[in-house]
Chain A
Amino acid sequence: MDCARKASRTDTVPGQTRDLTHSDEVPGQARDGTTERTKHLANPTTAEPILEIDRLSISFFTRLREIPAVMDFSATIMPGEALGLVGESGCGKSTVALGVMQDLGTNGRIVGGSIKFKGEEMNTMSPARLREIRGSKIAMIYQEPMASLNPAMKIGKQLMEVPLIHDKVNEKEAYARALEVVTDVKLPDPKRILNSYPHQLSGGQQQRIVIAMALMSKPSLLILDEPTTALDVTVEAAVVQLVKDLGRKYGTSMLFISHNLGLVLETCDRICVMYSGEAVERGSIGDVFDDMQHPYTQALFRSIPLPGADKNDRPLVAIPGNFPLPHERPKGCNFGPRCDYFQAGRCDQDMIPMVRVAGDDRHQTRCLRNHEIDWNAPVTAAATKIKHVPGQVVLKMENLKKYYEVAANALFGGDRKVVKANETLSFEAREGETLAIVGESGCGKSTFAKLLMGLETATDGQILLDNISIGDVPIEKRSTKNVADIQMVFQNPFDTLNPSMSVGRQIIRALEIFGIGKNDTERRARMLELLDLVKLPRAFADRMPRQLSGGQKQRVGIARAFAGDARIVVADEPVSALDVSVQAAVTDLLMDIQREHNTTLLFISHDLSIVRYLADRVMVMYLGHVVELGTTDQVFSPPYHPYTEALLSAVPIADTRVTKKHIVLEGEIPSAMNPPPGCPFQTRCGWKSQVPGDLCDTQVPPVRLLAPGHQVKCHLDDATLAAMEPVIQIAAE
């Protein structure tokens, strides 16, 4: 029956090839090959797809033009299956999700294709039928939990609404169900939670509530649009685990949108890679990760730091160029201008159709040359770089402490509380060295950066720059030299540049502040050199910040930091706001400049993959304490501090060969305002039972030296530490 339907459509639509490939997607296809990951499905052979998107095109209509946000997008999700949708920011992932929900806003419209939910066409559904389906059959979770909960309505009421609308139950029954589902998402004290307002919960708790709300009526399809981007890694790991478990428990199918390949690997059965509004490759996780058939997918994998990548021997390969805007797409292959395999005259002619990869299960790619490319050819190694040997100590912290006094009640004062943002920090950094500072939100990373910059003064202890104390000198009192020596690159390139000043002017301003150059001509020349240094075209000097992409803005930020020949650069999550393909380029740039100038780089990050890739030494912080400090190798291999171990386990790795020890931390990160007594990590530590007595509850562990240069703050005895297993293991090829 299906074949007949498809065949009749083939007649009416031009573009034979595409249609043929498309008919590979008919449900029958699932019959011959089910990947091992889908084996838990009840009975995939007879099942009808839950969601069938067929050559969907969505446009937004603005006053100026039509923006084709999604073109020719097809996907099928079978019962119990999880489909990952990955791609860079702006490629149309959210648009697909909202298209499925039929909620594109006033200016968005579906301009072609069909979306079938359990065989029922959604594009022509009546509003009443749509309301019936939304929230009960299809539920959606999106990125910012805080924004998706009504701030003026109690959690309980918001949850109860779902059964009240869809199952016509009474208030009491609805309350009982809300209570049940809140318990299901493992929130403590469900009754209190139901009776609170969203702002009274932490980000992770809010996201759990949003998940609870989505699962309330046991939907058959759950759409998750970057559900964990705003969360800390360990919280993210717990939330993802929860979604997976609940999905399995209720047999929910999922459309999981993410830009994080590792996360997709951990959660999904199948994956669809999007680029600039189109699906460029889709297939089972195994096929796409290990046997990719599209140059973009390949480039994406080469630009993320996987275990084994190394800044000296195996540097990352950035994708050259920029993402095309929807209305500026090139002719032919969208990826053409950035593709290594581009062939003029072929790739820039017609729309490229999706073709099937022989032999694999429902594996398709949108590349003309996929048969010609040798996919196993090794990366043309970007010249390996010489390992740099760190020089003498330039920066030294001694027992640094920073306490903040805050009023307990923001509006009316009340008792004053002390927040211990940094607790006895001691370490040194050498010339030309990269020291990574790792930890989750609230661990004191940014306070530390502020102290160093002189934006705050230390409560106690010393910061020595070239053996001169600067810890209690605020930035206004520091010498120009001192200020120029320590510079910072900020997390968000979007709000650190003055929007009304041209790029060149801003760099010249920095030069003026540092007293470099005698006159404007000299400074201008220096500014152009700096643009060269960060690999931006000199013409950019006259551009305004809004005309730059995120990665380009971050380069300007770096140029500004190096304007005064900084000797120490503090980079506070410099790439976390950028897309993966741009991250590699910016990271590499930072490393290159560092090599050239022998700069000491303090790299603050929560992303352990990138830290492993570029750091010489790593410092792990938790609630203001340095819990572990050592060389990258020492920190990334056992013995670990229990927190480091959990962090390592939480970071998703986009490599199918990697097996990880599974550690899920329960509970939230305690507030710095109210830290637990004893070991700061004791509320979530899985190793606590190995320590005799109540040592962990009562005493702050001493700093212990495990090996030269490797210190850990934990009560565990040497034998236990020595017996720890590695968290990440890479299967032999």
Chain B
Amino acid sequence: MVSFILRRLGIMVLTALCLTFIVFWLTNLFPNLEKLAKTQGNFRMSDEAVLTYLGNNGYLQPLPVKYGQWLGVLPGYVIAGTDGEMRARCATGGQDIADAARFCGILQGNWGYSTVFRDDAGSIIATRLGLTGKLMFWVMLLMVPGALIIGVMAGMNEGSRTDRSLSTVSILSTATPEYVSGVVFIAVFGTATFGMQWFKGTATAAMDDANFENFFLPVLTIALYGMGYIARMTRASMTEVMTAQYIRTARLKGVAFSQIVLRHALRNALIAPFTVIMLQFPFLLNGVVIVETLFNYKGFGWTLVQAASNNDIELLLGVSIVSVFVVLTTQLISDIGYVFLNPRIRIA
């Protein structure tokens, strides 16, 4: 098992390297850099001035070198600027170049500086991630049991009326994207239009003090979307299991229907959805971006939008590397869980 996890971790690191390199390359395309120079300097900069700025700040080094520095495996640049000033990547905030560390990248915990928030990117990401974590926790708490219950109920009696109505609900819920359901929820429950203003239309207050009133709508919006999909997977897996020979064996042993479902079918039926739940995670991150913006909840997704729309390269890079790790970690958990649920692939 240990070697299995180690191997998976290795693959994960490799994938993360590739993915971040791609993001790094995209954010370091010249038009982006040009925009950066102009926002940092002034918008009527001449092309030469832009180049000088970029050169002085190490942006014109070859891409792999820049990537290495950003990662922290190559020493940070020290460049004698055209204006005669020495600039070093690792000397920030007026630090003396001689005192500065040689390496300063992600690996050294140096996530760079956010130009939008005028703060250290690392700490921004940490707080925002915490907020999103809170949101996701409640989403999972609502979505997973809900989806499993719906799926199992629908799948245990294929073709029954319960099955048909539940299946319709799940298809509807997957077919409705968050930006539609979110807007509808805000309109119906967040305003006085329909006389059902039970919840708040904004979740800003939930950042410090979440309660049912200000937090339920965003949680529901994300959860609904993922729920339909997982419910349908669970249903498919459940119907298949219910026709298996060993279920007939149980029935012919005289096991009651409820016990057949709980003791015999459930574990086998959950193997497939479990993987799906974990793989759902990346898709939920999509929803997070939309919902956080919609409800003005300043979490990770909201930050991503801010960073992207303001060309905040360092923050954007930080956000993407965290996303990549979140996605890969969920996959690892999914694999391990699969092995755990399915005794047939127990690992020595």
Contact = CB atoms under 8 A, between A and B. Distances in A.
Interface in A173-221: 197, 199, 210, 213
Contact of A101 (B244, B246, B252, B344): B252
Q: Which of B3, B252, B343 has the most CB of A within 10 A?
A: B252
Interface string A154-167: 00000001100110
A148 B3 contact: no
28 contacts: A106-B159, A131-B254, A131-B255, A131-B256, A132-B254, A133-B254, A134-B252, A135-B253, A135-B255, A139-B252, A147-B246, A149-B246, A149-B249, A150-B249, A150-B264, A151-B344, A152-B268, A153-B264, A153-B267, A161-B255, A161-B263, A162-B254, A166-B254, A197-B343, A199-B343, A199-B344, A411-B345, A412-B3
A409 interface: yes
Interface string A99-127: 00101001000000000000000000000
Nearest to A140: B252
Contact of B254 (A136, A148, A150, A409): A136
B264 A165 contact: no
B340 to A, nearest CB: 11
Interface in A525-557: none
A142 interface: yes
Interface in B237-293: 244-246, 248-256, 263-264, 267-268, 271
Q: Which of B4, B255, B271, B341 has the most CB of A within 10 A?
A: B255
Contacts of B245: 142, 144, 147-148
Nearest to B250: A150
Contacts of B253: 134-135, 139, 161-162, 165, 213
A692 interface: no
Contacts of B4: 411-412
Contacts of A148: 245-246, 248-249
A414 interface: yes
A152 B343 contact: yes
A151 B254 contact: no
The contact size tier of chain A is 20 to 34
B165 interface: no
Interface residues of B, number: 28
| Chain B contact residues: helix, strand, loop or mixed | helix
B249 to A, nearest CB: 5
Contacts of A161: 250, 253, 255, 263
Nearest to B346: A197
Contacts of A197: 343-344
A213 to B, nearest CB: 7
Interface in A418-469: none
A101 B253 CA distance: 10
Contacts of B255: 131, 135, 161, 165
A224 to B, nearest CB: 13
Interface of A: 101, 103, 106, 131-136, 139-140, 142, 144, 147-153, 161-162, 165-166, 197, 199, 210, 213, 409, 411-412, 414
B348 interface: yes
B347 interface: yes
Contacts of A147: 244-246
A162 B254 CA distance: 8
B42 interface: no
Contacts of A165: 253-256
B341 A152 contact: yes
A135 B252 CA distance: 6
B250 to A, nearest CB: 7
Smallest CB-CB A-B distances: 3 pairs? A135-B253, A135-B254, A147-B245
Nearest to A409: B348
B144 to A, nearest CB: 20
Interface in B291-348: 341-345, 347-348
A134 B254 contact: yes
Contacts of A144: 245
B268 A150 contact: yes
Contacts of A132: 254
A103 B344 contact: no
Contacts of B256: 131, 165
Q: Which of B3, B250, B253, B267 has the most CB of A within 10 A?
A: B253
A106 B3 CA distance: 47
Contacts of B342: 152
Q: Which of B158, B249, B264 has the most CB of A within 10 A?
A: B249
Nearest to B160: A106
Contacts of B252: 101, 103, 134-135, 139-140
A136 B253 CA distance: 7
A144 B342 CA distance: 20
B10 to A, nearest CB: 13
Contacts of A131: 254-256
Nearest to A410: B345
Interface string B45-87: 0000000000000000000000000000000000000000000
